[in-house]
């Protein structure tokens, strides 16, 4: 058992995360000094995420005989994302209204420093729907990759893929080059994941060392409320979704447990994007579906972020005695439906969206962000894990509903049969 833990990515990341907690707790300064390790790992993953999305999407679309399938899958994907995100927001609002973690804090809004939210509000006003969709179009293909804007990279990839598909056999060498490049990129991912334990160690040591466990005590109810809501969402909402798709949620969670732990350790769902792409392809989901659902999900299907925003926003209202009736909460829900879209899957991005949401309400003090700053990172792990699981489930569901899921291959993967993607072996579960 100990040997298995020591040789598996899951075990290595688990041990590294625990060591990071211990270092941050007993030696605060040393823990804070480990921050570059976590940041460096996330930068390595972000470096490779754009090219992998491009090759996966282009290769998938170029290899499809019926281009209408992509259009149907895209519409079904957006519909699924909207329904699931709505359920996440509603569940978050329901739980925070029942538990009321902020009631009794009696924070005077006048005592809150608005400068605490200034950095998060700068340049982050709520855009119109047209502005949002225009932002998906990059100023140039190169710019999309330089800024690692996932939606813009997806836009470029889809257009390039359709162009290759329309040209057919005349561009076969280009398609072959993309497929070969994809194999190289997945090999790079395998190399990067070898340092995942170091990244998880650094990120966790910094979190505990910088913020300290003592700062959790006054707000432990809020943290517990958030984590319980995430667990309920995964078990109930995602459990129903996987059942409708004929997939066992528990077997899926076991299959992607490495990715779940890396997301937890780094507080970033983006850190496991390449691995999720590889594993879901290996599980029998058609490449075109994986390439469409996963990148889009990182902007439109951030379930953990949606839960966080609904709970944090209402918590701040309760803590500052800002009464929100049913109609006002309905307006808040409508705002959250917009602001919860398009936030990056990296640690800290949710604070920016939270500040923008508070500003959009016009009633909840924006300075209330200061109440969340000290504990945000302790909820970041839950957001990253829930976002990652949600996008894995979405890919399997869309693959099943569109008829682009090899159920026999999926069963073999979920039954611990070793597998590989593009000649690159993945760790057996």
Residue boundaries of the structural domains of the chain:
2-425
Per-residue model confidence as pLDDT tens digits over 22-42: 898 888 888 889 888 888 887
What is the pTM for the complete model shown? 0.76
Q: What pLDDT score does 394 carry?
A: 94
Q: What pLDDT score does 112 carry?
A: 64
CA angle 2, 8, 11 (to 5 degrees): 60
In what helix (H) or strand (E) does residue 421 lie, and over which residues does it extend? strand 420-421
Does residue 323 come out as left (phi exceeding 0), alpha (psi in the -120 to 50 range) or beta? Answer: beta
Confidence of residue 347 (pLDDT cuts 50, 70, 90): very low
From 246, 252, 254, 249, select the one nearest 235 (Cα to Cα). 249
Average pLDDT across the chain, whole number: 80
Per-residue model confidence as pLDDT tens digits over 377-390: 778 888 889 999 99
Report the alpha-carbon distance of residue 237 to residue 138 in Å, rounded: 34
DSSP string spanning 333-355?
Answer: HHHHHHHTSS--SSTTHHHHHHH
Per-residue model confidence as pLDDT tens digits over 58-67: 877 776 666 6
Half-sphere exposure of 389 (CA within 13 A, CB side): 33
Three-state DSSP class for 8? Answer: coil
The domain 2-425 belongs to what CATH superfamily? Sodium:dicarboxylate symporter (1.10.3860.10)
Average pLDDT rounded to a whole number, residues 230-258:
92
Select the more confidently predicted residue: 423 or 248.
248
424 bridge partner residues: 421
Confidence of residue 219 (pLDDT cuts 50, 70, 90): confident
Asked if the model's pLDDT at residue 84 lies above 90, the reply is yes
Q: What pLDDT score does 218 carry?
A: 62
Select the more confidently predicted residue: 182 or 67.
182
**Main-chain dihedrals φ then ψ at residue 406, nearest 5 degrees:** -80, 100
**Rounded to whole angstroms, what are the CA distances from 346 to 7, 82, 298?**
28, 21, 10
Q: What pLDDT score does 346 carry?
A: 47
CA-only gyration radius of the chain, Å: 21
Calculate helix-pair angle for 150-167, 287-300, nearest 10 degrees.
150
425 bridge partner residues: 420
Q: What pLDDT score does 215 carry?
A: 55
């Amino acid at each position: 058992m100990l040997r298995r833990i020591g040789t598996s990515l899951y075990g290595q990341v688990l041990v590294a995360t625990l060591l990071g907690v211990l270092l941050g707790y007993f030696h605060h300064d040393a823990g804070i000094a480990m921050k570059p390790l976590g940041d460096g790992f996330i930068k390595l993953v972000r470096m490779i995420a754009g090219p992998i999305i491009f090759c996966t999407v282009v290769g998938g679309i170029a290899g499809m005989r019926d281009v209408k399938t992509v259009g149907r899958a895209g519409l079904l994907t957006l519909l699924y994302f909207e329904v699931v995100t709505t359920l996440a927001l509603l569940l978050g609002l329901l739980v925070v209204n029942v538990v009321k973690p902020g009631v009794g804090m009696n924070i005077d809004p006048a005592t809150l420093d608005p400068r605490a939210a200034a950095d998060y509000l700068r340049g982050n006003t709520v855009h119109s729907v047209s502005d949002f969709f225009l932002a998906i179009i990059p100023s140039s293909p190169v710019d999309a990759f330089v800024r690692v804007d996932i939606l813009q990279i997806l836009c470029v990839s889809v257009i390039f893929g359709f162009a290759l598909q329309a040209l057919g056999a005349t561009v076969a060498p280009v398609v072959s080059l993309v497929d070969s490049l994809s194999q190289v990129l997945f090999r790079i991912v395998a190399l990067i994941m070898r340092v995942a334990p170091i990244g998880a160690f650094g990120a966790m040591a910094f979190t505990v060392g910088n913020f300290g466990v003592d700062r959790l005590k006054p707000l432990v109810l809020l943290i517990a409320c958030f984590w319980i809501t995430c667990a309920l969402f995964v078990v109930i909402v995602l459990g129903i979704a996987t059942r409708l798709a004929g997939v066992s949620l528990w077997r899926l969670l076991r299959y992607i447990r490495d990715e779940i732990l890396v997301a937890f350790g780094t507080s970033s769902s983006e850190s496991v994007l390449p691995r999720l792409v590889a594993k879901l392809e290996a599980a029998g989901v058609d490449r075109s579906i994986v390439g469409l659902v996963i990148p889009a999900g990182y902007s439109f299907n951030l379930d953990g972020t949606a839960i966080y925003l609904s709970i944090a926003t209402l918590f701040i209202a309760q803590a500052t005695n800002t009464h929100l009736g049913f109609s006002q909460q309905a307006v808040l829900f409508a705002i959250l439906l917009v602001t919860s879209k398009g936030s990056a899957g990296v640690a800290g991005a949710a604070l920016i969206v939270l500040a923008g949401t508070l500003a959009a309400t016009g009633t909840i003090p924006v300075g209330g962000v200061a109440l969340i700053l000290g504990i945000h990172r302790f909820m970041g792990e839950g957001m990253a894990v829930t976002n990652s699981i949600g996008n894995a489930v979405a890919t399997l569901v869309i693959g099943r509903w569109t008829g682009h899921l090899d159920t026999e291959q999926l069963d073999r993967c979920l039954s611990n049969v070793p597998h590989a993607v593009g000649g690159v072996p993945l760790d057996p579960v």
